[in-house]
Structure 1
């Protein structure tokens, strides 16, 4: 019996959506949909947000390799990105030339979808052969160009009269609502959203289907070649340049050879050069999204959170400076003597590495030790530089606000109010944030390893020559 997509309407009011689905319930659903027997059930990832399994089904003596994605119930939220919504984009790709897994079924009561399991692996950073890395990156760009030839018409989330700018504004409204529902202000996010909302590009052309998180880590490859685009959770109608901005963001973590050449190749495939100014605008928006995700996320390993916060806030300020043509002066490194507690931090780090991580055969123990080491490194830096940073930031806030704040927390709150009221010039505020994120980055540098010096890849050959 062949496996066909389930096109039945999803009843989102079904009470089942309000309770967690058990593994047995999901397995029974898969067997009912496919008419086969589940012979493999291996969880790939798990957490509060989404869980996924590699599933093999024996249907009519033929093994189907499938992928189950399940989203546990969550409280009502401004966030619209659900597994059911993702299914709409898989349906839009059905029959297209875009290399993406085929949708098999959508659960009518739980946030669960079943797709083909595309061949390949996602760990692009582990590819050591430079020619393979380039081939995979070039073929990914070809897939992206193929995707961007698909108009956004026919999607439930798309208004046929919408322009590209309308779609961008709709996304901005979603992310502002997601930020504001935290009821916890962040002056940098306020600053970025205000700039984005007042500088939306107005290009000609119709909206296209945008992946919304495109780049290394979200595609598969095998035997030196690209195989499939994955993870359509953030897909939406919009500006194709946004996906190139996402590509550059994901290349911070997993660089591709000669990124500027990949941008030129994309333009050749589309018959028109990529709009670099729009890519720079969307780098700001992409970075703002990532910072908002971190702002909303109260879970996760604290060591990774320290690294992510420092990196992504620095990238956001960098993106804003590049988008506006503002040259940010280099910041001198912090100078402060080690405290008497420095040796204690060093001792704990030595034990975590040599007495735990280096001798344990348990991956979970090693991971926990490494995460704890990141936290200790950050605390060691804060113990040394924290008072200096707080005094420096209060001094700079006093210059911006006209009087010294009672505390750093008070000063940041008052800065947010001043920014919303338009009392601080853009370049003055950007210079303050540049200093602030540079200090944060220095605190997190020891925890961040090689990521401490990473930035966006150059968009052009001339930018490459100046790096």
Structure 2
């Protein structure tokens, strides 16, 4: 793939007289995209520079959990980079033709900073930075949610990027069309009796809708693994492929669940402001309640549960014999007690 990277960069950087790819290697972790890193040694106008890069490549179609579009992700990242102060890695472009890289792909800047966010908590070596890093993270999320949708998404690419039939003409239509998608998807993921809890969650979401709130661009996978930090600040918010227009409380609710699953404590910071939710409310004036946060924790869980459990269901039904769905099934099990707790099941510890 090194030669394909050279060819891609030659098109992107037409003034480069020489391009060499060094240290090309796959990055472990994550399973939504195949990710590689490398350094491009580029000569332009007689001067040499080293560009740290990331190649994000779609997996083979049969292995894809969530089908997302690299051209949409590129447009979003560049819009956020150019129209806000949110720290993101520059996207150099995308290649939708599968021939060069084997599948559609995009090339982005490799941002500086640590991705080992677990080091911020539980006595980790960077715990002294947790207060300032998470405070900055909250400010970044507030900026994203406060930015007008048309400013970040002028072409409407984030209206329904996963082609689920989601409507965004009003908060009510967004919620109802999303819940309808979940309910209509249930027969395709019901491979085990334990997943009756998913149907109960869908019906609970329909019964107990909270107050409306203006829709916004949401990150869609706002979790402790998707930001980098250095020197007490967030250096980049990463992995924007699940972004779309939605309710801003979705990002908060998903972080609550991922804090539990990841054994991190993002929502406890900044402690001087009373925690993440309190600081978010202070900055936005939204006064989001713990009950609303619980609702959107369940809502966010079901948003990702549908494609994940459909992926597992296809393996159970022997549509393919991959090992990855079995790993995914195991790693998703910790979410079930949280779902039961959110719905008030008897006998589930708080």
CA-CA distance at 1:237 after TM superposition = 0.4
Q: Is the 8 A contact 1:214 1:246 kept in 2?
A: yes
Listed one character per residue, the Cα deviations across residues 134-174 of structure 1 (whole Å, up to 9, x for unaligned) are 22111111111111112222232328962233333444445
Partner-residue secondary structure (3-state), 1:232: coil
CA-CA distance at 1:302 after TM superposition = 5.2
- 1:56 is matched with which residue? 39
- 1:362 is matched with which residue? none
Residues of 2 paired with 1:231 and 1:40: CA distance? 22
Does residue 226 of structure 1 match 2:214? no
- 1:279 is matched with which residue? 293
CA-CA distance at 1:25 after TM superposition = 3.1
1:436-451 mapped onto 2 (5 Å cutoff): none
CA 1:37–1:270 in structure 2 vs 1: closer, same or farther (change >3 Å)?
A: same
Residues of 2 paired with 1:265 and 1:132: CA distance? 17
Q: Is the 8 A contact 1:167 1:238 kept in 2?
A: yes
Residues of 2 paired with 1:167 and 1:76: CA distance? 29
Gaps of 5+ in 1: 1-21, 322-327, 331-433, 439-454, 456-467
Does residue 132 of structure 1 match 2:129? yes
CA 1:225–1:79 in structure 2 vs 1: closer, same or farther (change >3 Å)?
A: closer
Does residue 164 of structure 1 match 2:171? yes
- 1:268 is matched with which residue? 282
Size of the aligned set, in residue pairs, is: 304
State the structure with more CA Rg. 1
TM-score (norm 2): 0.75
Partner-residue secondary structure (3-state), 2:302: helix
Listed one character per residue, the Cα deviations across residues 106-161 of structure 1 (whole Å, up to 9, x for unaligned) are 11423211111111121111232433122211111111111111222223232896
Structure (1 or 2) with the greater strand fraction? 2
TM-score (norm 1): 0.58
- Match among 110, 121, 130 for residue 117 of structure 1: 110
Does residue 41 of structure 1 match 2:27? no
1:81-100 mapped onto 2 (5 Å cutoff): 81-95=68-82, 96-100=84-88
Residues of 1 paired with 2:72 and 2:191: CA distance? 27
CA-CA distance at 1:210 after TM superposition = 0.2
Q: Is the 8 A contact 2:32 2:66 kept in 1?
A: no
- 2:218 is matched with which residue? 210
Residues of 2 paired with 1:263 and 1:211: CA distance? 17
Listed one character per residue, the Cα deviations across residues 33-67 of structure 1 (whole Å, up to 9, x for unaligned) are 23433233221137874211112222321112221
CA-CA distance at 1:81 after TM superposition = 2.7
- 2:164 is matched with which residue? none
Residues of 2 paired with 1:183 and 1:265: CA distance? 39
Listed one character per residue, the Cα deviations across residues 70-122 of structure 1 (whole Å, up to 9, x for unaligned) are 10341599954333332332133131111111221011423211111111121
- Match among 241, 247, 259 for residue 239 of structure 1: 247
Residues of 2 paired with 1:279 and 1:266: CA distance? 12
CA-CA distance at 1:305 after TM superposition = 4.3
CA 1:55–1:244 in structure 2 vs 1: closer, same or farther (change >3 Å)?
A: same
Partner-residue secondary structure (3-state), 2:256: helix
Partner-residue secondary structure (3-state), 1:94: helix
CA-CA distance at 1:304 after TM superposition = 7.2
CA 1:222–1:191 in structure 2 vs 1: closer, same or farther (change >3 Å)?
A: same
CA-CA distance at 1:176 after TM superposition = 4.7
- 1:189 is matched with which residue? 198
1:55-454 mapped onto 2 (5 Å cutoff): 55-59=38-42, 60=44, 61-75=48-62, 79-95=66-82, 96-110=84-98, 111-127=104-120, 128=124, 129-153=126-150, 154=154, 155-158=156-159, 162-176=169-183, 179-182=186-189, 184=191, 186-205=195-214, 207-252=215-260, 253=262, 254-256=264-266, 258-259=268-269, 261-295=275-309, 296-297=311-312, 298=315, 299-300=323-324, 305-306=329-330, 308-321=331-344, 328-330=345-347
Residues of 1 paired with 2:31 and 2:266: CA distance? 31
111-120 or 282-291: bigger deviation: 282-291
CA-CA distance at 1:177 after TM superposition = 5.4
Q: Is the 8 A contact 1:169 1:200 kept in 2?
A: no
Residues of 2 paired with 1:315 and 1:135: CA distance? 28
Residues of 2 paired with 1:55 and 1:172: CA distance? 41
Gaps of 5+ in 2: 99-103, 161-166, 316-322
